[in-house]
């Protein structure tokens, strides 16, 4: 346990770096699709998309995962479901965050070869997912509890936000 707090510190910093990519890359996708006719601009955005994913996001994701595994190895008590059900909720949210990360690479590649048909509105909505998952993860970790009510409130809040983002705007006369 001597090294646990140092690993935890590294884990938090790696998570923050990973989240920076998860928050910013979909925003770049918005700029990309909404300025598709500006070739020079899009080429610069493509470089930014590549670099933030490959040089920041993926290393930070793997650093987060490996430091998390190290912490669980140093403190296997955290995996006792009877005393730490919140850890399983956190790991479930983490699983979805990892899937989300890989989905960003799928969209990045489609944007890179100009085959993505998604709108800026879609990427604005898609950008809300890591926020929701990170709120759940941080909530579980800080409170060391799993609350179904907290989880449902956060999921419903973000479902509503996504609906508002995606709904068509009314025509004004």
pLDDT tens-digit profile of 63-122?
Answer: 999 999 999 999 999 999 999 999 999 999 999 999 999 999 999 999 999 999 999 999
What domain count does the chain have? 1
Q: Point out the annotated binding site for heme.
A: 11, 90
Neighbours of 81 (CB within 10 A): 8
Residue 144 in any domain: the answer is: yes
Would residue 55 count as lying in a domain? yes
Which domain range does residue 61 map to? 4-166
From the annotation, which residues make up the binding site? 11, 90
> Is the residue at 111 inside a domain?
yes
**Contact in structure between 118 and 33 (CB atoms under 8 Å):** yes
Please tell me the distance from the alpha carbon of residue 53 to that of residue 153, in angstroms, as a whole number.
30
Assigned domain for 66 exists: yes
For residue 1, the SS3 value is: coil
Structural domain contains residue 173:
no
In a domain, 171, yes or no: no
What the block records as the tokens of 51 is: 């670099």
Within a domain: 172: no
For tokens 């690479």, the residue is: 105
DSSP letter (8 states) at residue 149: H
DSSP-derived secondary structure letter, 151: H
Q: For the segment 143-157, what is each residue's pLDDT rounded down to a tens digit?
A: 999 999 999 999 999
Q: pTM above 0.75?
A: yes
Asked whether residue 38 is domain-assigned, the answer is yes
* pLDDT value, residue 173: 63
């Amino acid at each position: 346990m001597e090294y646990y707090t140092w690993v935890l510190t590294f884990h938090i910093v790696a998570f923050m770096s990973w989240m920076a990519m998860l928050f910013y890359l979909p925003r770049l996708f918005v700029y990309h699709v909404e300025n598709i006719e500006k070739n020079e601009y899009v080429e610069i955005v493509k470089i930014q998309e590549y670099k933030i994913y490959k040089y920041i996001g993926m290393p930070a994701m793997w650093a987060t995962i490996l430091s998390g595994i190290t912490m669980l190895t140093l403190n296997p008590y955290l995996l006792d479901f009877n005393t730490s059900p919140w850890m399983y909720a956190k790991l479930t949210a983490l699983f979805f965050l990892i899937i989300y990360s890989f989905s960003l690479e799928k969209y990045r590649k489609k944007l890179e070869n100009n085959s993505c048909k998604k709108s800026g509105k879609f990427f604005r909505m898609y950008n809300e997912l890591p926020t929701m998952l990170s709120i759940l993860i941080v909530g579980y970790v800080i409170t060391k509890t799993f609350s179904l009510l907290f989880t449902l409130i956060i999921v419903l809040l973000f479902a509503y936000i996504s609906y508002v983002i995606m709904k068509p705007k009314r025509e004004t006369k």
